[in-house]
Amino acid sequence: MKLSTFLFMFLLFVSTITTAQDGKALFDTKCKSCHNIGGGKLVGPDLKGINAKHSQEWLINFTKNSTALIASGDKAAKAIFDEFGKMPMMAFDMPDADITAIFTHVKSLSSANTTEKKKNIIAPPPAPTGNAENGAKLFDGSVSFNTGGAACNACHSAGAFPGGTLAKDLTKSGAAVGAIMNSLPFPAMKAAYQDKKLSNTEIADLTAFLKKAAVDKEEPMPCLGFPIGGAILFILFMIAITIIWRKRKKETVNKAIYDRQK
């Protein structure tokens, strides 16, 4: 083998390794807070086997600007967007090569053995069980955060708690609070909390509050009881009337005939 060929191969080899590692580092810092590779869905879908599902070009377009791809009428992008509660994934302004490296990493983990996949699952931070009442106060700002960060209702509402409309209602987002507050993937939230990190207790309290808000929202039973009970009573009433009415009618008619024949 010529020396130049050897050097070329060697450089190729080294660059492949670096790209693969960059892909892992990039994935871990930019994507892992919302995506597992084989560990089930987090904020976003599990990316295991995504390379087989979409072309490289599609993956790059989606990552760079999923909103534009959805707006262009792309069916697959629209479907996954709908499936995830129409929460847009933010745009990642990075070179194609970086995105390619990320998906090369995703591909290699997709086909890796189970033990490797397991390692990739992010366990939710071991949070103490939160206090929903404290969480509500933190949410609406009647108690401030230890580092003085903005109250969540500056941008979000949550169930019966009104709030800003800059961001979505958090009633069903309780499970995501830990991951979101630790990674701050949204620019608006990053700006608000980057230097004002919440404590684990505060995160746990907010989580408890939002989980409770979601349960409260799904409890229309007392209201349902009334119309259903009413309907049953109404039917019973109608049956009773029919029976009474029938008897009466029979009696009168029979009696009339009987009387006539006499």
Interface residues with ligand HEC (CB under 6 A)?
30-31, 33-35, 43-45, 50, 59, 62-63, 66, 80-81, 84, 87-89, 92, 102, 150, 152, 154-156, 166-168, 170, 173, 176-177, 180, 185-186, 188-189, 192, 198, 206
What minimum distance in Å lies between the beta carbon of 195 and ligand HEC? 14
What minimum distance in Å lies between the beta carbon of 24 and ligand HEC? 12
Is the CB of 41 or the CB of 118 nearer to ligand HEC? 41
What minimum distance in Å lies between the beta carbon of 15 and ligand HEC? 21
Q: Which long-range contacts (CB under 8 A, 24 or more apart) does 213-218 make?
A: 213/158, 213/159, 213/160, 213/161, 213/170, 213/171, 213/174, 214/159, 214/171, 214/172, 214/174, 216/159, 216/160, 217/159, 217/171
What minimum distance in Å lies between the beta carbon of 162 and ligand HEC? 14
Amino acid residing at 233 = L
**Do the beta carbons of residue 155 and residue 76 sit within 8 Å?**
no
What minimum distance in Å lies between the beta carbon of 213 and ligand HEC? 12
> What span, in angstroms and rounded, lies between the C-alpha atoms of 238 and 69?
58
Is the CB of 6 or the CB of 91 nearer to ligand HEC? 91
Tokens in use for 34? Answer: 């919302």
Residues 45, 50, 55: CA angle, nearest 5 degrees = 130
Is the CB of 39 or the CB of 44 nearer to ligand HEC? 44
Is the CB of 43 or the CB of 143 nearer to ligand HEC? 43
Who's near 217: CB < 8 A, 6+ residues apart? 159, 171
Who's near 153: CB < 8 A, 6+ residues apart? 139, 140, 141, 161, 162, 163, 164
What minimum distance in Å lies between the beta carbon of 219 and ligand HEC? 21
Q: φ and ψ at 220, to 5 degrees?
A: -85, 10
